[in-house]
Amino acid sequence: MTMNAFILFGAALASAVGFAQNAAPCPVEGFSGGFNRGCPQKQFANPSDISAMMAALPDKPIVAPQSLRRVLVLCRAPGWVHTSIPLAAKMVEYLGDKTGAWMTTITYDAAAITAENLKQYDAIFLASTTGEFLDDPNDKAVSEQRRKALLDFVKGGKGLAGVHAASDSYHAKGPVLAGTWPEFNELIGGFFKYHWTYPTLIPVKVDDPKSPLTAMFPSRGFDIVDETYTFAQDSFSRKRVHVLTSVNYAKMSAEDKAKEPAATKRTDGDYALSYIQRVGNGRVFYEGHGHDEKVYFLRPFVAHMLAGIQYALGDLKADDSPSVK
């Protein structure tokens, strides 16, 4: 899909009626686009979605891998469960297979996050993980071991990549906006506080058009339709991360701006979408879109994810200095 088609695709979707709001509490087989809480996780993507996603895959990596790379995709979502999780996982797997950039293991079990098991991997990909996705509610010691294993993995020189609801993790519910695991909140860049619902047409600004992670986008920016996350005011800062893309807030319609409650509206108008950062000796990439399956059909989006994962692996070099010094 060309960038013009990408924009037209977004504009067409913006006029569509979202069906997620009218979905049953737990989705039936074949349901897509919505999310739910407390339902069994669907672990298989629809074949038609996989086919459309595969058509968007690049033919080669952004850069050749320096060695055989292995990526662990974690899909556990004890909070909101996105139906796009299995497709996101398959995107990572097929990106690695087609381009030769890495090999992939997919798991829905947080027990895979141990210091010993992670020795075989170069990066972890969080596929819309939500809630306290690493924790065992019945064993505090196990939860602490998993948390430490993840932090040590990244800080020790490995990579972390996350899409969409990876930032809807470890934060308090209700009116109090506070992180519950500060080290992870900083690792992923911030925590979710509001989203424009699907489908909303979002104008995107390319903050760093010179980065190899944004080379697939026109420097003037583009439009996309998805559910778009925003971060709590004090949880995200350009003093920590290098912003790649953000909501072009000045171009948003007054109607869409007014949808955000005053209690969660950022005073700085800064709504980052994707960014990278160094954490210890490791690297982190995050992309805020990826709610709806159709986003994974878009060539620029998939290429952006390829670049982000290759950055997290340490193969793709890029300026990751904080956007605000």
Q: What residues pair up with 279 in beta bridges, in sequence order? A: 282
Tokens of 294: 């159709």
Do 77 and 131 contact (CB within 8 A), yes or no?
Answer: yes
Amino acid sitting at position 44: F
Domains observed in the chain: 3-313 (3.40.50.880)
Say if residue 199 is preceded by a cis peptide, omega within 30 of 0.
yes
Q: How many residues does the chain have?
A: 325
Phi-psi region of 115 (alpha: psi -120 to 50; beta: other; left: phi over 0): alpha
Tokens of 301: 């989006």
Give me the tens of pLDDT residue by residue for the chain, a chain 325 residues long.
Answer: 444 444 433 443 333 323 233 344 676 655 665 566 667 788 999 999 999 999 999 999 999 999 999 999 999 999 889 999 999 999 999 999 999 999 999 999 999 999 999 999 999 999 999 999 999 999 999 999 999 999 999 999 999 999 999 999 988 776 666 878 999 999 999 988 889 988 899 999 999 999 999 999 999 999 999 999 988 888 899 999 999 999 999 999 999 999 998 888 888 989 999 999 999 999 999 999 999 999 999 999 999 999 999 999 999 999 999 999 7
Q: What residues pair up with 104 in beta bridges, in sequence order? A: 71
d(CA 166, CA 127): 7
Q: What is the pTM of this model?
A: 0.90
Do 161 and 188 contact (CB within 8 A), yes or no?
Answer: no
> Which positions ≥6 away from 83 have C-beta within 8 Å?
27, 31, 32, 33, 34, 35, 42, 293
